[in-house]
């Protein structure tokens, strides 16, 4: 539970304190069980005429990244040295 709490805290910090524009996301499920396999869904609403061009997700130590569902027009890259999904 601690690893997932850290994961969501970092995730919220990434999007709650953006550098260029303000944005908000939703992540489901909101909590997880330690040692379980979870599928997380992130939704980024577009409220203005500018589209979302980049999302960076920092994955905390103790949590592992498996895969991203392909979405037409988007590319996902995992940097294992930095534990970051871009």
| Domain limits, the chain | 1-86
Does the reported pTM lie above 0.75? no
Q: Tens digits of per-residue pLDDT, 23-73?
A: 577 888 888 788 888 888 888 877 778 777 788 888 877 788 888 888 888
Which tokens sit at 21? Answer: 């524009």
8 Å CB contact between 32 and 4: yes
8 Å CB contact between 77 and 53: no
Query: C-alpha angle 17/21/25, rounded to 5°?
Result: 65
């Amino acid at each position: 539970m601690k690893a997932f709490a850290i994961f969501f805290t970092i995730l919220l910090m990434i999007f709650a304190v953006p550098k260029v524009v303000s944005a908000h996301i939703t992540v489901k499920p909101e909590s997880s069980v330690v040692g379980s396999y979870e599928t997380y869904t992130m939704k980024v609403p577009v409220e203005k005429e500018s589209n979302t061009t980049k999302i960076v997700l920092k994955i905390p130590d103790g949590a592992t990244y498996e895969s991203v569902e392909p979405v037409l027009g988007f590319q996902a890259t995992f940097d294992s040295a930095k534990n970051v999904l871009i």
